[in-house]
Amino acid sequence: MTLNVLFSAPPQRWDAFRAPLNQALQEAGIEADLRTDHPPEKVDYIVHAPNGGLSDFTPFTRAKAVLSLWAGVEDIVANPTLKIPLTRMVDSGLAEGMVEWVSGHVLRHHLGMDAHICRKDARWDPVVPPLARHRRVGMLGLGELGTACARALAGLNFNVSGWSRRPRQVEGITCLHGKAGLEEILSHSEIIVLLLPLTPATENLLDERRLALLPRGGVIINPGRGALIDDKALLAALDSGQVAHATLDVFRTEPLPPEHPFWTHPQVTVTPHIASETRAETASRVVAENIRRAEAGEPLLFLVDRAAGY
Q: Splitting the chain (310 residues) into consecutive groups of 10 residues, what average pLDDT does each group show?
A: 97 97 98 98 97 96 98 95 97 96 98 80 85 98 97 98 96 96 98 97 97 98 98 98 98 97 98 96 98 98 94
pLDDT at position 117 is 75
To the query of whether residue 273 is one of the catalytic residues in this protein, the response is yes
Domains plus CATH for the chain? Answer: 3-91+278-296 (3.40.50.720), 93-270 (3.40.50.720)
pLDDT at position 187 is 98
Reference 184, options 214, 216, 151; nearest CA is: 214
pLDDT at position 116 is 78
Inter-axis angle of helices 280-296 and 11-27, nearest 10:
50
Q: Are 275 and 249 in contact (CB under 8 A)?
A: yes
The single residue of 108, 188, 260, 273 carrying the catalytic annotation is: 273
pLDDT at position 119 is 63
pLDDT at position 118 is 61
To the query of whether residue 225 is one of the catalytic residues in this protein, the response is yes
The single residue of 13, 225, 245, 285 carrying the catalytic annotation is: 225
Q: Is 37 left (phi over 0), alpha (psi -120 to 50) or beta?
A: alpha
d(CA 299, CA 297): 7
Contacts of 13 (CB under 8 A, 6+ apart): 7, 49, 52, 69
Contacts of 58 (CB under 8 A, 6+ apart): 81
Reference 310, options 218, 199, 201; nearest CA is: 199
Distance of CA 307 to the CA centre of its chain: 19
Alpha helices in 141-242 (DSSP H): 144-155, 178-188, 208-211, 231-240
